[in-house]
Amino acid sequence: MSTATSRFSLRQSIARLMGEVFTGTPSGGFEVNSFQCSALAVYENDYFKDWFGRFYSGTHKDTDFVITAFAKANGVITFSPSLGTAVDATDLFEIYPDFKPQEFNDAINLAISMVEEEALQDKVDATLEVVASTFEYTIPTGFVFIDQIFQEGGTAGRYSPSANSIDTRHWRILHGATPKLWFDDNYVGLVTGRNLRLVGQAVQAQLSLDASTCSISKAFITYQAKANLHFSRVDEQGDAHFNKMVVAQKRADEERRHISVAGRGRKVSF
């Protein structure tokens, strides 16, 4: 599995493929609806007017805005809506001309959902505590497959593969609206107060914040999200968005072949 990538990094990579994108740090003139960025002072007045922007890190992270004016002198960006407090030097920002930040974010999450059960993630949970005379337990959320179950040993937090593994013949999953784990009390000696360690797989979660990370191939997510964005603007076969969508989708399909992860163990729900 590839290294995890933050949502803002994915969004900026996609924006670069889509066209112009600038990232930067406010350098002064801190107001609730404007700031300076000296690196942008080489551009003419109103060059960035009507561009979309987002603070992706710092005090105002995860906040969108639209540029209403740009002044070449000192690189002053004026934006809307106003913030509750003034911009500051921690507020890293990104700006781009054609798509809103939410459109990028939606395209990324759609790309994730398209392959969520092809790109399974390892998952471990040790929150279930054994209750006296109880052999049915609600499965912690997030599991798609469960492969192994261990019971905590005599020392808290210790799970020995040899001594504490529960034989797969002696537990199963009860499917339903709320999947449950069932243990055969004729063969499994559950000890009250000890925890159960579940080892299995989960799908990649949807990204809700810019700091949220995705472990699916960055190349696949980038090209698939790009294809999704162009698809949202296609008017007819042969227009510019259609042609760009086809190229991006071809690249995404090539990357998709490399991300498949087989499910291990027993499926939690159907």
Half-sphere exposure of 19 (CA within 13 A, CB side): 10
**Rounded to an integer, what is the distance from CA 166 to the centroid of its chain?**
33
Which tens digits make up the pLDDT trace of 212-270?
A: 999 999 999 999 999 999 999 998 877 999 999 999 999 999 999 999 999 999 999 86
**For residue 188, which amino acid is it?**
V
Radius of gyration of the chain (CA): 25
Q: Are 152 and 195 in contact (CB under 8 A)?
A: yes
Task: From 127, 69, 61, select the one nearest 94 (Cα to Cα).
Answer: 61
For residue 137, pLDDT over 80 is answered with: yes
pLDDT in tens, 8-38: 999 999 999 999 999 999 999 999 999 999 9
Angle between helices 218-231 and 240-256 (to 10 degrees): 150
| CA angle at 104 for the pair 47 and 216, rounded to the nearest 5° | 135
Instruction: Quote the pLDDT of residue 34.
Output: 98
Give me the residue spans of the domains in the chain.
20-97, 121-202
pTM of the prediction?
0.88
pLDDT value at position 270? 65
Q: Tokens at residue 19, please? A: 């066209």
Query: What local confidence, expressed as pLDDT, does residue 1 receive?
Result: 45
The β-bridge partners of 200 are 123, 146
Q: Is the pLDDT of residue 136 over 80?
A: yes
